[in-house]
Chains A and B, each alone.
Chain A
């Protein structure tokens, strides 16, 4: 699936199984879409397609939002939560912590929506659980 096809699908459906979506391309980064489920708590999910996979990313917090004395415990907790957390994994790029899901490029549109909703839920739930380590 190409990113343009995905954008068209999102703009055509708007609503899917009770969820409403807003899909915007990122200026300067045409192969990245910002998807927001408008009837959920506002947290954008960024979707991009590489040669091998479809990547869905949500940003969790930045390095400066971590309580320095709890940093190690937080990193351990992230590793421990990585396996039990359904479909998503934690990661970090530069100073930003993120949660992501990787799908096969042959995934269906329904699979992608399922991933986005799951990622949204996991992001907020994990941040809530790890809040004691954050400022």
Chain B
């Protein structure tokens, strides 16, 4: 099961409560400990590789020296043969034989070193890749935990202070409510303005004598009329 599958299983678990550790804290600690040990082993392997490479270079150098030595002695043989000194030539040839033996041995050592360093390099690369992968997985687990804990703490904090965790929905609802209140206020203001306009027009009409404000006169006339009738 990869780390994402584990995270999903943990997230989907019905027993999980908000803020619960997503993955057992103890196993996370063990995982971190294992990673730290792997890093330590990796450092040791790198030191080992450095020392192996140094030995390999030294052997390669030795091999070159032996090759030069063989060449030099071959020239000696040629010189001895030119001088018709057969016994000296044979003696030098024996030396060449011993040098060639040595060459074969050192060459085998170089091959061994090369093969060892190659293996070690592959192992180091593999371990480094594995470690990077573990680090990525651990970061995923820790981030999930962190976001959950943060959400839980923020929620707890807001409920403790009798305030509320503001969500975008609530902000929008509040804005919509404000806009609606504004709309009603505007409507009321418009209505008032309209009424006031009506009153002003009536005043103007009265002033112009088009509308007569003669209620008192009417009342007086009415009373006079009723007296006459009596």
Contacts and interface: CB of A to CB of B under 8 A. Distances in A.
Interface in A60-96: 60-62, 65, 91, 93-96
Contact of B166 (A26, A57, A59, A131): A59
A46 interface: yes
Contact of A96 (B146, B151, B156, B157): B151
Interface stretch (B65-73, B169-177, B180-188, B199-207): B169-177
A48 B171 CA distance: 22
B167 A124 contact: no
B172 A128 contact: yes
A55 B147 contact: yes
Contact of B169 (A26, A53, A61): A61
B178 to A, nearest CB: 10
B168 interface: yes
A44 B155 CA distance: 13
B149 interface: yes
Contacts of B151: 59, 93-94, 96, 98
Interface in A14-49: 26-29, 32, 34, 41-44, 46, 48
Contacts of B148: 93-94
A12 interface: no
Nearest to B155: A96
Interface in B67-103: none
A110 interface: no
Secondary structure dominating the interface of B: helix
A58 B139 CA distance: 21
A126 interface: yes
Given A46-B150, A50-B142, A50-B143, A124 B171 contact: yes
A5 interface: no
Given A26-B153, A28-B156, A32-B153, A48 B146 contact: yes
A134 interface: yes
Contact of A59 (B142, B152, B165): B165
B166 A126 contact: no
A89 B166 CA distance: 19
Interface residues on A, range: 35 or more
Contacts of A4: none
B172 A131 contact: yes
B61 to A, nearest CB: 44
Nearest to A40: B171
A28 B150 contact: no
B163 to A, nearest CB: 11
Interface in B99-147: 139, 142-143, 146-147
Contact of B157 (A26, A41, A126): A26
Nearest to B143: A50
A11 interface: no
24 contacts: A26-B150, A28-B156, A29-B150, A29-B153, A29-B154, A41-B175, A42-B166, A46-B154, A51-B139, A51-B142, A53-B143, A55-B143, A55-B146, A59-B151, A59-B165, A61-B167, A65-B167, A91-B147, A94-B18, A94-B152, A96-B155, A99-B168, A127-B169, A134-B169
Interface of A: 26-29, 32, 34, 41-44, 46, 48, 50-53, 55, 57-62, 65, 91, 93-96, 98-99, 123-124, 126-128, 131, 134
Given A46-B154, A93-B147, A128-B172, 4 more contacts: A26-B150, A27-B157, A94-B151, A123-B168
